[in-house]
């Protein structure tokens, strides 16, 4: 399943790469949200919403064309 990952700068070294290789092999993008802690979606709800909407729009464009 296509996915994106929204993360803060507080990631364990190597965790993102491990996830890309094992748990989410169809990751279409990674976005670092500046100033976010562990609860990215709660701390930066507006930015997360915009990133999710853009992901869905881009995914629909790839599947359906312009």
Q: With 90 as the cut, is the pLDDT of residue 3 above it? A: no
**Residue 19 near residue 27 (C-beta atoms within 8 A):** yes
* Cα angle for residues 7, 10, 29 (degrees, 5° grid): 20
pTM over 0.85: no
Coil vs helix vs strand at 20? helix
Chain segment 36-53, per-residue pLDDT in tens: 888 899 999 999 999 999
CB atoms within 10 A of CB 63: 8
Residue 37 contacts residue 11 (beta carbons within 8 Å): no
The Cα–Cα gap between 29 and 12 comes to 18
Domain parsing of the chain, residue ranges: 3-64
């Amino acid at each position: 399943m296509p996915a994106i990952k929204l993360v803060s700068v507080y990631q364990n070294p190597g965790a993102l790469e491990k996830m890309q290789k094992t748990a989410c092999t169809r990751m279409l993008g990674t976005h670092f949200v500046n100033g976010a802690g562990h609860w990215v979606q709660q701390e930066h709800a507006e930015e997360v919403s915009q990133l999710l909407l853009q992901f869905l729009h881009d995914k629909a464009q790839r599947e359906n064309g312009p």
